Amino acid sequence: KGPVNFSYANIGAVASAEGAVFHGSVDFGNASVAQNMDFGDTSFLSTTAQVTLCGMRVGRNFALQRAVFAGSVCFRETIVGRSLNAQKVRFTNVKEAADFNHIEVGEDARFREALFASSAIFSHAVIKGGFDLEEARSTKPLSPITLQNLTVGRKLSLQGAEFLGEIQLSDAQLSAL
């Protein structure tokens, strides 16, 4: 129930909190994981505590599938060597944007069937493979999905996505849509 702080930690191989439930703040800011980080099926339930994943370095894969973020969450400037799997992730805070500004993903970023209760910001993100937002949705009217200055190496896929706010794509560099 209290805070969890792994900021600036250096983890030699794999870090997993798969299926864990956190009720307070979680800080992995600027942590380094040599191989894989797994938050699949993890719940961050506090609506008032910050989840800080900003500046992380993950050598291979970052798993967030089916994770729930009830409060403010920051992924800004995180670097993932291979893939970011955020299929069916849920960002349920209606006041705070999910912040992915300046992230870098070496291969694919998958947000298929993701739920954004507010805005999502992917400005200046670099995704060297494909960026899958198929069947993703936002639930708050007028909350933008910001993809400004986004770079995608292969295809940005929005098939079946439903966003109640605008999609901001100015200055995006896309190989295919």
**Locate tokens 């993100």: which residue?**
125
pLDDT per residue over 56-89, tens digit each? 999 999 999 999 999 999 999 999 999 999 999 9
Which two tokens mark 19?
Answer: 């299926």
User: Considering the entire predicted model, what is its pTM?
Assistant: 0.94
Asked if residue 108 lies in contact with residue 80, where contact means CB atoms within 8 angstroms, the answer is no
pLDDT per residue over 130-143, tens digit each? 999 999 999 998 89
pLDDT per residue over 24-52, tens digit each? 999 999 999 999 999 999 999 999 999 99
